[in-house]
Amino acid sequence: MALEIRRARQPCREMTAISAQRTAGLDVNRPFPPQITSEKSKLGFVGIGYMGRPIAQRLLISGFRVTAYDRRRTKAEEPIRSGGTVAENVAELSSSCEFVLSCLASDEVVLHIYKGADGAFANAHRGSLVIDLSTVSPQTSQELSRLGSERGVGVLDVNITGSTPAAAGRADPVRRRRSGMLRRRRVDL
């Protein structure tokens, strides 16, 4: 019976996603979120700090093309050793990438990076996708969604868990066991 309920709800979720795409001015015939592949996708990464640096490095090691930006240029240059490039500013980064990821320290910094004439939204291409990995308030996430919708840019607020070692791929065995349990549960659902 639970399976039937899920099947009945599925079209509603699909319709909601299509409605959200139309509201944002995105092509409803294109899958959302767009598929990110290492062969075709160019990623921009804003915030090469304690969490952002290892995530950006893992993306580079996995074969993705990554352009980095950090307000401290020396931090943004760290991914170059793994094959990345550096953007001079957020406008350059967002105008040259299909996907913009950010991992920033506070709500204020996140809003500063995305808003305004020099911000990521003003320079991103219609149909591109922003993936914010920062720990921010629900109001900031809603504001990003609103701003993205106005520009035809998709926005995903993605929570990350763990610490710097987890971001670098060195999670502790307890965390690995828990994530394995979660994967099994998701499959069972």
Q: Which helix (H) or strand (E) holds 160?
A: none
Of 2-16, 51-65, 174-188, the one with minimum mean pLDDT is 2-16
Which pLDDT value is given to residue 167? Answer: 60
Spell out the domain ranges in the chain. Answer: 37-158
Q: Which helix (H) or strand (E) holds 43?
A: strand 42-46
User: In terms of Cα–Cα distance, which of 158, 161, 160 is closest to 145?
Assistant: 158
Residue 53 has pLDDT above 70, yes or no: yes
Which pLDDT value is given to residue 91? Answer: 97
| C-alpha–C-alpha distance, residues 134 and 104, integer Å | 5
CA dihedral 69, 75, 81, 86 (to 10 degrees): 20
Of 112-116, 146-150, 158-162, the one with minimum mean pLDDT is 158-162
Residue 92 has pLDDT above 50, yes or no: yes
| C-alpha–C-alpha distance, residues 37 and 115, integer Å | 27
Tell me 115's DSSP state: S
| C-alpha–C-alpha distance, residues 39 and 41, integer Å | 6
Which pLDDT value is given to residue 166? Answer: 61
Residue 10 has pLDDT above 60, yes or no: no
**Cβ pair 121, 153 in contact under 8 A:** yes
**Cβ pair 43, 59 in contact under 8 A:** yes
| C-alpha–C-alpha distance, residues 71 and 60, integer Å | 20
pLDDT band at 30 (very low <50, low <70, confident <90, very high): low
Which pLDDT value is given to residue 80? Answer: 81
Which pLDDT value is given to residue 145? Answer: 95
Enter the tokens of residue 29. Answer: 């015939």
Task: Give per-residue pLDDT as tens, 64-81.
Answer: 999 999 999 988 888 888
Span 118-135, average pLDDT: 95
Q: Is the domain covering 37-158 a CATH 3.10.20.600 domain?
A: no
| C-alpha–C-alpha distance, residues 48 and 65, integer Å | 15
Total residues found in the chain within this entry: 189
| Higher-scoring residue by pLDDT: 47, 21 | 47
Which pLDDT value is given to residue 163? Answer: 66
Which pLDDT value is given to residue 11? Answer: 39
Helices and strands (H and E) in the chain: how many: 9, 6
pTM of the model: 0.71
**Cβ pair 76, 69 in contact under 8 A:** yes
